[in-house]
Chains A and B, each alone.
Chain A
Amino acid sequence: MKISRIGIQNFRQHRNIDLDLSGERGNFTVIRGLNGAGKTNLLKAITWCVTGDLGRSEPRHSPTSLVSHGAIQDTPVGESVILTVELELDFGQEERAEVSRSLTFSRAEGGLVLGPASLKINRHEAGRGWQKEPEPDLWLDRQLPRRFSHYFLFDGEQLEKFFKETEASYVKGAVLEIAQIDNLERMVDRLQQTVGDLTKAVASQRQGASGATLESTYKELEAREEKLKEDVSKKRIEKAENEDAIDKAKARLGDVAAIQSELKRLQSLEIAANSAHERAAHASNDFYAWTTSVAPYMMMFKAVETLEDEIEAARVRKELPPAYDPDSLKELLKEEVCVCGAKIGKGSEGHSHIQKLVEDFSALSEIGEALRNAEGPLSRLRGRFFDQRDKAESLGKTRADSAKEAAEADAKFNNLKKQLAGHDDQQIALIGQAFEKALEGAKSIERDLSKIERELEETKVARVKLQSEIEAAGAKDAKAKTKLHELGFAKEVFARSQSLFDDLKNQVRQDVATNLDREFQQMIWKKEAFEPVEIDEDYRVKVINKLGVENREGLSAGETACLAFAFALTLSRVAGVRYPMVVDSPLGRLSGEVKKSVAEVLSNFLVSEDEQESAQLIMLVTDEEYDESVSSALADQRPLLFDISFDQQSGEATLEELRNG
């Protein structure tokens, strides 16, 4: 592959470059110019076209920094400025491609406004003519891999950075890509990712308790449930027994309660009986006291009657004095006053009546007076006889009633006492305590039973729940199993791919290292100074001197340049593609013989006869680099020589072809 044409518009100082490098004459091009003439920006323009960036010497840039100042100045506000770099690639066999990368800017008052960017590729193939490449980025990266573009589009000033430790990833990328096993690496990575994903999926499926664990827990719950059922049965039996005991105790307690009640009743009856007895005693006492008090005159009732009869007979016989004393009556007659106090004159009926009484009782006997004296008290005694007779009936009835009542109370008391013989309070209390204890026991059993029943219910619920979990886990386990199979397969594929890839990778690495060593050994002038160059497993390029010491850091600038060229050449050889090499200041740091030697190396690079297709080298050099020694060393290759200069006035670089002379 070679670059057969370079066209640049408005890229920094290159406002309009059109280099025709077609044909064999374009295989070796030297562009010579002073520092600042535009050599490096020419390399950057090519790099930008191929990769979209400016290479490792200017890793970050703003798009506007790419635009030619002259173009900006020449573009009126509101107009567009188009920056374009075009490369025409020649693959031989009439296969060609036109690569055009451009940026469009609008000129504004304050500067430029970035517009659309584009990459267009037209391809020409034999028999098919020109066709627009539908995937220009992909196609371009495949033809000129971006990852190792810096190994064929490089700045000599950056040579020292080649193969440093930090470059290992670039080396690895380049090695794998040129062997076209980078896809395999990506596949392996993808497989690894797949394995990771499947591992996660399996883990996810297995998250939580597995079916087996759940089964085990289920069995434990089942056993627990059985145990609880047994406990419930035992407790129920215990409860039944206790209830029986309680019933018996209740029956006994019923008796006892009845007895207690009867005992209380007995006490009441006793009290009632005592009370009745007291009343009876009172009644008797009253009765006895009464009989004692009335006995003398009651017993002499007849005697009193006899005497009263005698008095009455004496009254009939008019032996008794009048109610009033006769002497007093005589005094009243004298005063003519009645016993009632009224005046009674002589001759009046009252006066005559009293006078007659006085006359009638004028001859009263001593016996009559004695009888009359006894009459009053006897009369009062007689009155008492009948009064007391009524009272006797009342007292007698009261006494009899109370005696009867007492007797009845006694009978009741004695009857109950007889029934309750053999019972006492202490015995009843003991039965009561036993019953209370039995009740407490019943409560305790009830509590235990409800606790166990509750636990049993909870266990049942848990077991049923677990059963559904087990079913779900079974399904999950099946899924996990499938995923596990997939994982196993993926792991196997991954392992095999990894192994295959590692083998290939190592083979390529070794191949690259062998080629690199061969190229390097051919280039360097100090033959026998180094052991074979190696690329270790971490893709670090190791240059070991004859003393067995790794000495890549100690390489001279010329040796480093040789190593870089050797690596670039190696990549080309391994890839089977000769990439066009554009090198800026390859000899800038070299001097004298070394410079000449490197120039010869480059010359040899071009004339390698192993290649089926011709190589292309574009060297961007200063006058100091391209001195007589270099010129003569490269004379045989008949380079196409250009001078590059920068016009301060126009701010524009110009290229002028020089005829080799």
Chain B
Amino acid sequence: MARATRTILEFDKDSVPLFEKLRKALRGEKGDLSNKEAFLIAVSWGVRFDVRPDSIKKSGTGARVEYFSESDTALLAAAHFAFSKSPESLLDINEIHASAELFADGGIRLLAEEMAKPGNFPDSFAASVFDVIAGMGPVPDNEG
């Protein structure tokens, strides 16, 4: 696997305020969300709703790669595989990171729309999560 060359998974230049807004709108483990947490949430939204722009405008700000755990990276790989459908795409971490940046931007825009709606955003956010949970189905035999 190619070595990662990025140190930051960047937000789109236009989406930086959206990430800021998301960080404030939701609560993380230590208060406001970290960039990494916001980034991952945005990626998951982008993946879930399959929204992925073709490119972003680099902003120089985003989530530092060093903060991503093995699981986080596995999630980013899964996200990229969902788009690429090619196991070979998993061989390049930089490609995975770039794909994540695109999903993140797609996700943040969706979330921004949601945040802009009247009502309680965390509730609508939670409702989205619970929709997924409701659709998870029974626990597989080899689990739990």
Contacts and interface: CB of A to CB of B under 8 A. Distances in A.
Interface of A: 284-285, 287-289, 291-304, 306-307, 310, 314, 366-367, 370-371, 373-374, 376-378, 380-383, 385-389, 392, 396
B37 A374 contact: no
Contacts of B79: 300, 303
A117 B72 CA distance: 167
Contacts of B125: 288, 291-292, 295
21 contacts: A284-B122, A288-B27, A288-B126, A289-B29, A291-B126, A292-B27, A292-B37, A293-B28, A293-B29, A295-B128, A296-B41, A303-B47, A303-B78, A304-B78, A310-B81, A310-B87, A371-B87, A371-B90, A374-B78, A389-B136, A396-B130
Interface string B20-33: 00000011110001
Q: Mostly helix, strand, loop or mixed at chain B's interface?
A: helix
Contact of B144 (A287, A366, A383): A383
Contacts of B139: 386
Nearest to A370: B90
B54 interface: no
B4 interface: no
Contacts of A291: 122, 125-126, 129-130
A555 B71 CA distance: 178
A297 B1 CA distance: 23
Contacts of B27: 285, 288-289, 292
Given A287-B126, A291-B125, A307-B81, A370 B74 contact: no
A295 B44 contact: yes
A307 B130 contact: no
Given A295-B41, A367-B90, A300 B133 contact: no
Contacts of B44: 295-300
A366 B92 CA distance: 11
The 10 tightest CB contacts between A and B, nearest first, are: A299-B44, A377-B74, A303-B82, A296-B40, A291-B126, A299-B48, A296-B44, A303-B78, A307-B78, A288-B122
Interface in B115-134: 122, 125-126, 128-130, 132-133
B47 A299 contact: yes
B143 A386 contact: yes
B70 interface: yes
A22 B127 CA distance: 180
Given A314-B87, A396-B130, A374 B136 contact: no
A122 B128 CA distance: 171
B42 to A, nearest CB: 9
A596 B87 CA distance: 210
A378 B90 contact: no
A314 B88 CA distance: 12
A380 to B, nearest CB: 6
A292 B90 contact: no
B45 to A, nearest CB: 6
Interface residues of B, number: 41
A444 B109 CA distance: 83
Interface string B37-57: 100110111011000000000
B20 to A, nearest CB: 16
A371 B40 CA distance: 21
B91 A301 contact: no
A376 B73 CA distance: 12
Contact of B143 (A299, A314, A382): A382
Contacts of A386: 136, 139, 143-144
Interface string B61-96: 000000000111111011101100001101100000
Given A306-B81, A367-B90, A392 B75 contact: no
A545 B16 CA distance: 173
Nearest to A399: B126
A370 B91 contact: yes
A381 B71 CA distance: 7
Contacts of A301: 132, 136
A288 B75 contact: no
A366 B90 CA distance: 10
A7 to B, nearest CB: 167
Given A300-B79, A310-B81, A374 B90 contact: yes
Contacts of B72: 296
Of the candidates A295, A298, A302, A378, the one having the most CB atoms from chain B within 10 angstroms of its own CB is: A295
B144 A307 contact: no
Contacts of A366: 1, 91
Contact of A292 (B28, B77, B81, B144): B28
Nearest to B26: A292
Contacts of A377: 70-71, 73-74
Of the candidates A292, A374, A382, A386, the one having the most CB atoms from chain B within 10 angstroms of its own CB is: A292
B48 A367 contact: no
Contacts of B136: 301, 385-386, 389
A293 B82 CA distance: 21
Given A287-B126, A377-B71, A377-B74, A298 B132 contact: yes
A374 B74 contact: yes
Given A299-B45, A301-B132, 12 more contacts: A288-B125, A296-B72, A297-B71, A298-B132, A301-B136, A303-B79, A303-B81, A307-B81, A314-B87, A366-B91, A370-B91, A385-B136
